[in-house]
Amino acid sequence: MIKKVLNSAIEKGCKVKMIYQKDDQVVERIVSPRRFKGELIVCYDHFRKAQRNYKLANILRRLMK
């Protein structure tokens, strides 16, 4: 399901709001997904203003923006 939503965002050029677990922290990010790279999603992170890779397994929830 997560891959389906992210793939749709890639095709449409949409931003995605996601809840992500990083170590012991849970963070919220707004990203523009670019492509899949194995079990990672390569995104532009609008908070950090840089390209970042996120593990698909660590995405707790996502919402289309």
So what's the pLDDT on residue 64? 57
CA angle 22, 26, 31 (to 5 degrees): 80
Average pLDDT, the chain: 92
So what's the pLDDT on residue 1? 78
Domain count, the chain: 1
CA dihedral angle for residue 50, residue 56, residue 59, residue 61, rounded to 10 degrees: 110
The CATH number that applies at residue 52 is 2.30.30
Instruction: Examine the pLDDT at 2 and tell me if it is beyond 90.
Output: no
Residues linked to residue 35 through DSSP beta bridges, in sequence order = 42
The maximal CA–CA distance of the chain, rounded, in angstroms, is: 32
Convert the pLDDT of each residue in 29-59 to its tens digit.
Answer: 999 999 999 999 999 999 999 999 999 999 9
Q: Which range of residues forms the domain containing residue 47?
A: 2-64
pTM of the model: 0.85
